[in-house]
Amino acid sequence: MTAPHEFDPQLLSEVAALPALPGVYRYFDAEGGVLYVGKARNLKKRVTSYFQKNHGGTRIGHMVTKIVRMETTVVRSEAEALLLENNLIKTLHPKYNILFRDDKSYPYLKLTAAQTKDAGGAPTAVAYPRIAYYRGAVEKKNHYFGPYPSAWAVKDTILLLQKVFKLRTCEDTVFNNRTRPCLLYQIKRCSAPCVGHVSAEQYALDTANAQRFLQGQTQEILSELEKKMLAHAERLEFEQAAELRNQMAALSKVLHQQSMDLGGKNGDVDVDILAVKVQGGKACVNLAMVRGGRHLGDRPYFPTHVENATDAAALDIEPEPSAPQAKEKSLEALILEAFIAQHYIDVPVPPILVCSEPVDKALMDALSEQAGSRVTALHQPHEQRRIWLEMAQKNAGLQLARLLAEEGSQQARTRALAEALDLSLDNLDALRIECFDISHTAGESTQASCVVFKEHKMQNSEYRRYNIEGITPGDDYAAMRQVLTRRYTKLAEAARNGEAKLPDLVLVDGGKGQVSMAREVFVELGLDLGLIAGVEKGEGRKVGLEELVFADGRDKVYLGRDSAALMLIAQIRDEAHRFAITGMRAKRAKVRVGSSRLEDIAGIGPKRRASLLQRFGGVRGIASASVEDIAMVDGISKDLAEEIYRALH
């Protein structure tokens, strides 16, 4: 059958010359954009099928008509092809591949390596390993456990280790400057090695048991502790026996509370559970993690390009020689395989994957080859594994329902705002709004913020802060003029050359004065005044009574207290204000370095200040602590911990 589209003869000749070897191919459109990345056991056979078959009006047929160029790479095996394919997918972001965006790196629990004490024999931090939350590149000298699905899971595990094994969590600088035990010793969550309340030998034993606990060897630890307890009792060393009894009781309580502990029945120490749900044109893969026999929680992933990828991925099904009529895979199976292939490129893979859909054997073979050990995928598990999978499936459905509800709400808000301001409704996904706000304290440390709304959500990676200098302190109008000039001078020139696109709406937090200043800047730059709107406070500065003021002379617009458009305006305006405030506080803290006090930090009252000082032994100890350590203090949130860290650095 002839192809429904006339292709470049050069392209067809390249296809005809392809070898019958395993490899990876890439298709490009006329603009150089990557359309699709695929792998093949037989490059010639696979790629030829795209250009000889009539794909009709399918999505893959639409893709094929756009192909103007092709690149191929021959590899030694199908496993190599699979790894290269998914590396390219993550790098090139092709339009017709199922794509999982790179997530932030997973958190780990770090256990520092013990080093020899100094010649004087005094306790030093390096001789007593420390447990800590960690995110980033690992170092060989330390021990890392994980990955964990969330920061909460790491901190919960650290709390368990403190209760049972009493390992230290303090920074080395705090350890080396202690003269008396801290509060954690008083509440029996640290053995106080900093002041010699535990011997190096006993602390090393506790550290080793903590490692074994994290590796799932809980029953062995209990058995050994029981033997030692009985031995102490026989020697009438009742104090030591009581300490071991208390440690056993704490460990038993932890195991009892961990209702998902297998008890070693199936030998599942490290397992990942993967469940996929598709609904309303969206998909969710829910990943739950079991490490050391403990269920640590889960994390949802939402792939993009799901609607485009179905036909292309289905065409890539390559039957085994013994089974020429391969069964077409479900969309759920395609999504799950794409996740496994892309996710485990950068993340260690456990020996067992419990999956809601069957997984291709070739994929698991490639994954095993990459990991250097056998990796097994179980599709229809039993007993505890089945319970885990059912939980993961339920959570996948809940997360997808939440996403659909949020996206539906945000899209409705975007449409309502576009209709209220007569903006284009042709492509609401591309509607771009930029919002500016000014923040300072009595003229000190003035900063301007620019936040971006696009694709129905805030685009954090495109936020920008601007240090405002050379103006009269407290002159918000001059600050707004400066930030708008700096933001749009180059952008305006690029837009005139067709190299960039201006936002569809520019919001400034303020009324007529700020809008007039924005108008002057846009006139100087030759930009459309219809892009500018100011968010003016309503009567009594009450929330819900805001009005929009325009630079092009239009009358003010009151959107209504319950308007979806006003909700979106308020969301963007409040985010710009939050971003400006945090930047201003950080800048102010840098200006005051050396004289900063806890009292100067917003949100720190007498109780929180006392908790911090007790936890770290003084301001110097707090300044030496990490954000994660500060956040572990009762009453200190992650955001407040970041504020404290910035203020003291």
DSSP 127: G
DSSP β-ladder status, 376-378 and 23-28: unpaired
Check whether 385 has a pLDDT greater than 70: yes
- Residues 450 and 433 placed together within one structural domain of the fold: yes
**CB 38, CB 30: distance < 8 Å:** no
Please provide residue 114's backbone torsions phi and psi, each rounded to the nearest 5 degrees.
-75, 140
Residue 549 half-sphere exposure toward CB, CA atoms < 13 A: 19
| Token couple for 242 | 């009581």
**Mean of the pLDDT values across residues 579-589?**
67
Q: Which residues contact 475 (CB under 8 A, 6 or more apart)?
A: none
Q: Which of 76-85, 232-241, 398-407 has the lowest mean pLDDT?
A: 232-241
**CB 244, CB 228: distance < 8 Å:** yes
- Residues 486 and 578 placed together within one structural domain of the fold: yes
Which amino acid belongs to residue 616?
F
Residue 23 lies in a domain: yes
**Mean of the pLDDT values across residues 210-214?**
80
Residue 412 lies in a domain: no
Q: Which sign, positive or negative, has the C-alpha torsion 204, 206, 211, 215?
A: positive
The pLDDT score that the predictor gives to residue 59 is: 65
List the Cα angle 537/543/548 in 5-degree steps. Answer: 40
- Residues 446 and 519 placed together within one structural domain of the fold: yes
Residue 325 lies in a domain: no
- Mean pLDDT over all residues of the chain? 80
Residue after which a domain boundary falls, among 557, 589, 621: 589
- Residues 183 and 282 placed together within one structural domain of the fold: no
The candidate with the shortest Cα–Cα distance to 275, out of 152, 385, 406, is: 385
- Residues 583 and 635 placed together within one structural domain of the fold: no
- Residues 434 and 539 placed together within one structural domain of the fold: yes
Q: How confident is the model at residue 592 (pLDDT cuts 50, 70, 90)?
A: very low
Residue 466 lies in a domain: yes
Q: What is the dihedral of CA 139, 297, 640, 160, to 10 degrees?
A: -70
The pLDDT score that the predictor gives to residue 24 is: 93
Burial 199-214 (b: 16+ CB within 10 A, else e): eeeebeebbebbbebb
237-275 pLDDT, tens digit per residue, is 777 777 767 666 665 655 544 434 443 444 567 899 999
Q: Which residues contact 592 (CB under 8 A, 6 or more apart)?
A: 600
Q: Which residues contact 302 (CB under 8 A, 6 or more apart)?
A: 282, 283, 284, 285, 400, 403
- Residues 252 and 279 placed together within one structural domain of the fold: no
536-582 pLDDT, tens digit per residue, is 876 655 666 778 888 888 888 877 776 788 888 888 988 988 888 87
- Distance separating alpha carbons of residues 152 and 133, to the nearest angstrom: 10
The better pLDDT of the pair 577, 147 is held by: 577
DSSP 282: E
- Residues 460 and 563 placed together within one structural domain of the fold: yes
Domain count, the chain: 5
- Judged by phi (left if over 0) then psi (alpha if -120 to 50, else beta), residue 32 lies in left
162-183 pLDDT, tens digit per residue, is 877 888 988 888 888 888 888 8
Distances (CA, A) of 173 to 124, 170, 179, 299, 624: 10, 8, 12, 35, 7
Q: How confident is the model at residue 588 (pLDDT cuts 50, 70, 90)?
A: low
The pLDDT score that the predictor gives to residue 248 is: 67
Residue after which a domain boundary falls, among 203, 232, 257: 257
Check whether 138 has a pLDDT greater than 90: no
**CB 284, CB 300: distance < 8 Å:** yes
The candidate with the shortest Cα–Cα distance to 220, out of 248, 243, 191, is: 248
- Residues 142 and 161 placed together within one structural domain of the fold: yes
Q: Which of 170-174, 323-327, 348-352, 378-382 has the lowest mean pLDDT?
A: 323-327
**CB 521, CB 488: distance < 8 Å:** yes
Residue 309 lies in a domain: no
- Residues 280 and 367 placed together within one structural domain of the fold: yes
- Residues 444 and 511 placed together within one structural domain of the fold: yes
The pLDDT score that the predictor gives to residue 538 is: 67
Residue 166 lies in a domain: yes
276-319 pLDDT, tens digit per residue, is 998 877 889 999 988 877 788 888 988 887 766 555 555 555 54
Angle between helices 200-214 and 151-165 (to 10 degrees): 140
417-470 pLDDT, tens digit per residue, is 888 887 877 788 889 999 999 887 666 668 888 999 998 889 988 999 888 888
**Mean of the pLDDT values across residues 370-384?**
88
**147 upstream amide cis, omega within 30 of 0:** yes
Start-to-end CA distance of the chain, whole Å, equals: 70
Q: What's the CATH number where 355 sits?
A: 3.30.420.340
- Residues 555 and 608 placed together within one structural domain of the fold: no
**CB 284, CB 264: distance < 8 Å:** no
Domain that holds residue 556: 428-589
| Token couple for 494 | 């690029």
Residue 323 lies in a domain: no
Residue 245 lies in a domain: yes
Q: What's the CATH number where 70 sits?
A: 3.40.1440.10
Q: What's the CATH number where 605 sits?
A: 1.10.150.20
> What does the DSSP assignment read for 285-344?
EEEEEEETTEEEEEEEE--B-HHHHHHHHHHT----TT-SSPPPPPHHHHHHHHHHHHHT
Which amino acid belongs to residue 636?
I
- Distance separating alpha carbons of residues 116 and 128, to the nearest angstrom: 9
Residue after which a domain boundary falls, among 562, 589, 616: 589
Distances (CA, A) of 502 to 316, 361, 466: 40, 49, 19
The pLDDT score that the predictor gives to residue 435 is: 93
